[in-house]
Structure 1
Amino acid sequence: MSLVKRAWQCRARAWVAASLLFVSVASATDTGSRGATVQDAINMVRIQYAVTPDDKVAAISDDGTQAAFVTWRGDLARNTNVYELRTVDLRPPLKQQSSRVVLTRLFPGDQLDQVASPIQQLRYLKGNKVLTYLGRDAAGVAQAYRLDLATGEETQLTKHPTAVRTFTVDADGKLLGFSAIASADDGTAKRLEEDGVFLWEPGVFSFGQTFFSASPALIRLKQVDAVRQFFLTANGRDQLIFDSRQSRPKAPLDMKDPKVARAPSQSLAEDAVLGHFSVMPAAPNGRQMLLYPYLVAEQPLHPERYAYYMSSHMNEFGRRIAARVGVIDVATGKIEPLLDAPSPQFERYESGPPLWSPDGKSVVVYTLFPDRPADAPAWVEVDLATRRIVPLGLAKDARPVSWAADGRTLVLSINGDSFSQIRRTGDGKWSRPTQPGRANGFNADWSVAANGKVVLGVSDALRTPPDLTAYDPATKRSIRLTDLNPQLAEIRFGETTAYHWRSKPTDPADGFLVKPIDYQPGKRYPLVVLLDDNTLRFGNAPFLFDGVWQLSSHATQMLAAQGFMVLYKREASMRDVIETPAEAERVREDMERVVAQLDREGLIDPARVGVSGWSRAGYYTSYLVIHSSIKFAAAINTDGGASEYTNGMRAFTDKELSQIRTPVMFQSHGLWSLVYHGAMADRMNQLDRPAEILYFETASHTTTRPQHRLRSLGSSIDWWRFWLKGEEDPDPAKAAQYSHWRELRAVQERQLERSSSR
């Protein structure tokens, strides 16, 4: 996983689930009649992580009586996913209910966008009567839509030739403006299609690589999508007012030059990142809109004026993406900075998108200060007419998430798990925050939504599937609103408990141990260790059915049903060693300690241990089979890890690969991954080290397509059974698979014989 993606996924550390007052919840228990299957995982109804423009789990109607959220499940028969836009009633008393499905869309996924959905950016209009959303047209291109909840009538608001990314409507649902991906008109796309290019060519690729692979070409293709154009819409015509390429210097950046690296200018890569924070909200009166990110290359920020932003605690990447918030005059299309200061958006807890005041006269924004260059960024209110700045006086990790109905009170989220309020006083200043209230039991993978009267989030437990839950700050009661997966009560789940050890004598480490469903004390079981890729947050105890975030290869409960002990291992803290040789060594030491502890406790057979990792944890998997003292019986590397990450992404040497004694299955998602994995697998085969590749040509990094998941999870289970238990599925359709694996076993046996004879 890239460092940027890891930063995005460094979300709020969750609090321990406790004291939720649930109403007759159907949860998965030991009373079921059978073990879990891959089909169960595919059919499970899941809650979409983010559905609003500011990435909340639900949209709350203007009058507070209703909320909308999105679920999805796999449909194997059609090899697609079924997305459903649902609404729930928030009128008191809150209660569990059957959510109303108001829109259904089929969507198989997007290879280049692993979080793509056909229903995003939900907004309520006219109380609870109308919803707008970002959907997909018949050609699969993202467009803006309006849905009348009473009649079910759907209206397409945009018909842009390229994908719409954000959009804004007025109170009546009339389109005011939108941003969209720009057409590739710079000539480089044509060269890629019709001519030959060198991968080091700076005119084609904005930054070079120190190793040879197809990855620069893939990066280029993704970056074309990152170019955004912003339009105003009036009288049926779209007026282009800003193109994100205006933010880039015309000449390619020389990142080896320290002055260039420190300069707050954007390159193509930074533009791709900033696109994920793009917003274009309109004032309530529709006369002005905000534009973020707004940065023009000809009007650079001056490092000496923004001492805090240029201080040593900011890395070079952060310094290059100092963007401002722009203010658009809807009548003229003119853009000017809200403040001559950047609005950094990379602090998970305290930063966030700007909020218009209900009267449209001011903006609440997270920003640095033009007149105090060394001060830390803070939330302030900016008067549009005078540009007067009034700090909100918020403590660290607190940020406003919405206005209350009175138009003078801001609802605050504190550290992601507590909520408070501040009120504008008669002199225009802000009161101290009220005593925060804590909503226990929410899973922080889903960002909560709040309006001052209710907090909506997702609650689950190790063997209880996720459901939408409401928390009432006044009564401090939490009510589970939905029961999305009653069918899971039929399944016997393996006993799942928190498991602790010490990664080194002074540091505790943990994960979750899943025992076989017919566990017998005193019996030693084959162990599969599933490496987390920094997605399992500290303090979180999520529903462990398959994987956390990524849904291929990690067949957690399905392995328990097949008689395996499973350790879902939380990643150790890497802050002090990331991108250094000590990073993988910490993983190795941690792994060897926990396996030794499980062995001492008599829970596992140390001769039958497997390890699996996805993305960056795929690198850990490769490192372990090369360097660990554990003689792993098998390994699976899913879409990552076929090179030495901490040494310029160099290929592993023959000397390193010669140390492998473990059969490795590579699961490759897309052509780049195949080239990447194939290089390592080819060398392993040349060295008589057994390697297998399972290739998914159209899979995204974390794939969601049902047939992909069926094959990935099913093949993973087969792999573990073959190498750790000596078992084969008698299904005739798998005869060729097992024939090849028996050949790999013969290769391994020959290699082991040669090693023992030396």
Structure 2
Amino acid sequence: MPARGRADGYGAGVLGVPGFNTINWIDNDSFVLLWGDHGDVAQVYAIDLARRSIEQRTQSQTDVVTFRAGPNNTLYYFARRVADRTSSERALRDGFAVDTHASLISLLNGWTEGVTPLDLNGVELFRIVAGRSERWTPHGPGITCGQPWFAFALSPDGAQILLDRAPDEVPAIWRAYPDYLLRLLIGNRQDGRACQSVLASLYVVDGQSGEARALIDAPLDPRAKVAWSPDGLSILVGPTFAPIGSTSLADEAVRKFLAIETRTGRWRTLPMPEVSEISSLRWLSSQRAEICRTEVSCDRFGLHGDDWALERRATPPLASPGATLAIEQGLNVPPRLVSIDAHGRRHLLFDPNPDLSRRFRLGHVERISWPTESGSQWGGVLYYPTNFRPGRRYPLVLQLEPAAAGERFSLYGPSQAGLGPGFSIYAAQALANRGMFVLEIDEARIEGSTLTEHEPAAFMRIYESAVRALVSRALVREDAVGISGQSHHGWRVEYALTHSSFVFAAALASDHANGGYMQASFHQWPHEQMQMAGAEPFGAGLAKWLENSPGFNVERVRTPLRLQRESGGVRVVIGPWETFSRLNHLRAPVELYFIPDIERGSHVLQHPSQVLASQEGAVDWFDFWLNGREDVSPGKADQYERWRVLRERRDALARVPRPPLLQWTATQVAPANQVEAERASRDPSE
């Protein structure tokens, strides 16, 4: 196997979530996987265990980002697009006017057309049939382009391909769905920009002709999973949306599990209660299916006549009349394979990590709950310090990655189950080994707040109530509480630092949108950013931005903040630049860090050296600020030299009174609503 292999370019990172770039078994002896060639280009390799051989299946000039293998050595794969820069180079030479759809990031990359960051990381579909590789483009009404975001599967005979694609136009009836997030996706899509949208529907493509046709007139939920029936005549998909207006749906906002006939588009629902996530779904035969909430909780369904019916609820996935095989795990019990006999007795069959607790110190993990400001109960998963002693208080780190349901073991946080590598900045057990509590807080939709100005404020109060509860239990030091969040949760971190009355001792936000004015302007004021701020940043609406945007309130920050970039290359420094530059100007303790090899970074990190740098940096950061400790490793001398300077900044800033949070009014930012008045006075024909 090539030693320098990487499969984690930005495009691969977007798709490199669990279930996409996993091992694809061909038979009992061989499988294919994504790895890097000696030139550090991600390729597909075939491994034959019986012959002990390795074969490189693709010869792509750019990273392969995801693939599916079929019978007779058929292979379909998406590779990063090699974009034609001819027109941009000509425009740069001759002069040009900026396209009205262009983003600043695109222009900084030298693209003069209306190219978006997603376009820059676009992909093309290829296939290998009879040993020949060729670019392959599906075609048909309503399908133009798009990324392989969620659904990409071959039928058992390899004759058909299931893809999710952005339709040319959003069907008008889709706007009638009451689901809030779906409406937000529809509103966030700009006309003519289908290729950059994650709003998509399911299409079946004929492997011979390339002709594509929509399966049903309904959007695909991003969390849905798909599976072909053994006979290739049906698709099982869910949880997702059913076509609107059906008399079989009591509530059109509820996501369903659908069995869809690929030839006719006829669909039926399976009587499965709505769940936000499932671990797997599969066909047991052409008329029986299984849906698993967790590895050991599966429901089985059968097609009886014209309807699907529940046959067995909450049964382990592997069972026989005499015994049942199950993967058993808990918050403090690593996964292991057990057999359960007819009397309910458990017998250990295989423990892949028998000496884990002897080789490593692991902090105790438990579920906790606490009262919120409103009087309701909220919950989460708490990791104890490995050196915990009753009666002693310890630092605390809030990891703003939602705690997963169930009793799943994890070294990093319950949202990242298992013992394999985690991603980004989360490192619960490593922090516990440095003498800290770590709390991952349950994630639940607070009605009417998601991706609005109310969301970070609502969760900020939950974070504050969690800290109060642990302090009142004499577990946590109130002056040593850290907070960390990646992606969407980084916005909540920045908001808490600027808007909370509680002053955190350290913070870390990585690869995130921050609800800031500069980020919105770089991307041509997307609908989502307007929702996050509460208004458009013009006229009276600017008051909302001044009040809600963290970037406009950084003078209140007293917390050492590490901003991190994991994807998009160096040019995306403009993303966190508003927060970084304003804090730096105020001589606040702020650091902007890029992970190693940032040009090949990804939003969901996969490469070991990048994951290690991100997690080790997070552990060192919180250990320094919450425990006052430094790692004496020679290679980290520069790191601590920087942080000691930031500590001096923190101490100096602590002597400056923290200003109050300003309340802005429309008349302060636009006297007499002058902007609206000017709009109203314009000639309608303009």
Where in structure 2 are the equivalents of 1:154-303 lying within 5 Å? 154-164=54-64, 165-170=66-71, 173-175=72-74, 180-185=79-84, 201-202=99-100, 204=102, 220-229=116-125, 231=127, 233=129, 236=132, 238=134, 240-242=136-138, 247-248=143-144, 271-272=146-147, 275-282=148-155, 284=157, 288-293=159-164, 297=168, 303=172
CA displacement at 1:193 relative to structure 2: 9.2
1:629-663 Cα deviation digits (max 9, x unpaired):
22322222233365446217969578622212222
* C-alpha distance in 2 between matches for 1:234 and 1:502: 63
Please tell me the residue identity of whatever aligns with 1:538.
A
CA contact (8 A) 1:422 1:430 kept: no
Q: Residue 672 of structure 2 aligns with which residue? A: none
CA displacement at 1:140 relative to structure 2: 4.4
Please tell me the residue identity of whatever aligns with 1:169.
G
Structure 1's 710 and 542: CA in aligned 2 closer, same or farther, altered over 3 A? same
Q: TM-score, normalised by structure 2?
A: 0.71
Q: Name whichever structure is richer in helix by fraction.
A: 2
- 2:554 paired residue among 640, 657, 661: 657
Answer yes or no: is 1:755 the counterpart of 2:657: yes
* C-alpha distance in 2 between matches for 1:452 and 1:133: 36
* C-alpha distance in 1 between matches for 2:131 and 2:107: 51
Structure 1's 310 and 181: CA in aligned 2 closer, same or farther, altered over 3 A? farther
* C-alpha distance in 1 between matches for 2:219 and 2:143: 16
Structure 1's 353 and 449: CA in aligned 2 closer, same or farther, altered over 3 A? farther
Structure 1's 727 and 371: CA in aligned 2 closer, same or farther, altered over 3 A? closer
CA displacement at 1:471 relative to structure 2: 8.5
Answer yes or no: is 1:402 the counterpart of 2:298: no
CA displacement at 1:577 relative to structure 2: 0.8
- 2:8 paired residue among 89, 106, 110: 110
Structure 1's 369 and 337: CA in aligned 2 closer, same or farther, altered over 3 A? farther
1:674-710 Cα deviation digits (max 9, x unpaired):
3333432221132232222333252433434444444
1:430-468 Cα deviation digits (max 9, x unpaired):
5633122333xxxxxxxx899999999865433333457
CA displacement at 1:413 relative to structure 2: 0.8
Report how many aligned residue pairs link the two structures. Answer: 596
CA contact (8 A) 1:618 1:638 kept: yes
- 1:621 paired residue among 487, 493, 505: 493
CA contact (8 A) 2:2 2:38 kept: no
> Helix, strand or coil for the counterpart of 2:226?
coil
Where in structure 2 are the equivalents of 1:17-36 lying within 5 Å? none
Q: Residue 542 of structure 1 aligns with which residue? A: 409
Q: Residue 585 of structure 2 aligns with which residue? A: 686
CA contact (8 A) 1:636 1:665 kept: yes
Where in structure 2 are the equivalents of 1:151-550 lying within 5 Å? 151-164=51-64, 165-170=66-71, 173-175=72-74, 180-185=79-84, 201-202=99-100, 204=102, 220-229=116-125, 231=127, 233=129, 236=132, 238=134, 240-242=136-138, 247-248=143-144, 271-272=146-147, 275-282=148-155, 284=157, 288-293=159-164, 297=168, 303=172, 307=173, 310-313=176-179, 314-315=182-183, 317=185, 321=199, 323-328=201-206, 330=208, 333=209, 335=211, 337=213, 341-342=216-217, 344-346=219-221, 348=223, 351-353=224-226, 355-358=228-231, 360=232, 362-364=233-235, 376=249, 379-380=258-259, 382=261, 384=263, 387=264, 389=266, 391=268, 394-397=271-274, 401-404=281-284, 407-413=285-291, 415=293, 418-423=297-302, 429=306, 432-439=309-316, 459-466=328-335, 481-484=350-353, 486-525=355-394, 527-534=395-402, 536-545=403-412, 548-549=415-416
> Helix, strand or coil for the counterpart of 1:504?
coil
CA displacement at 1:501 relative to structure 2: 0.7
Q: TM-score, normalised by structure 1?
A: 0.65
Q: Residue 470 of structure 2 aligns with which residue? A: 598
CA displacement at 1:343 relative to structure 2: 5.4
Structure 1's 191 and 105: CA in aligned 2 closer, same or farther, altered over 3 A? farther
CA displacement at 1:469 relative to structure 2: 7.1
> Helix, strand or coil for the counterpart of 1:223?
helix
> Helix, strand or coil for the counterpart of 2:622?
helix
> Helix, strand or coil for the counterpart of 1:517?
coil
CA RMSD of the aligned region, Å? 4.8
* C-alpha distance in 1 between matches for 2:160 and 2:647: 64
Q: Residue 564 of structure 2 aligns with which residue? A: 667
CA contact (8 A) 2:298 2:313 kept: yes
Structure 2 spans left out of the alignment, 5+ residues: 190-198, 250-255, 417-421, 517-528, 538-544, 661-686
Please tell me the residue identity of whatever aligns with 2:282.
S
* C-alpha distance in 1 between matches for 2:324 and 2:478: 47
> Helix, strand or coil for the counterpart of 1:684?
helix
Q: Residue 100 of structure 1 aligns with which residue? A: none
CA contact (8 A) 2:67 2:75 kept: no
Q: Which has the higher contact order (CA 8 A, sep 6+)?
A: 1
Structure 1's 174 and 556: CA in aligned 2 closer, same or farther, altered over 3 A? closer
CA displacement at 1:383 relative to structure 2: 7.4
Deviates most, 729-738 or 647-656: 647-656
Structure 1 spans left out of the alignment, 5+ residues: 1-102, 249-267, 440-447
1:31-85 Cα deviation digits (max 9, x unpaired):
xxxxxxxxxxxxxxxxxxxxxxxxxxxxxxxxxxxxxxxxxxxxxxxxxxxxxxx
Answer yes or no: is 1:585 the counterpart of 2:462: no
> Helix, strand or coil for the counterpart of 2:67?
strand
CA displacement at 1:537 relative to structure 2: 1.8
Deviates most, 112-121 or 661-670: 112-121
* C-alpha distance in 2 between matches for 1:195 and 1:135: 42
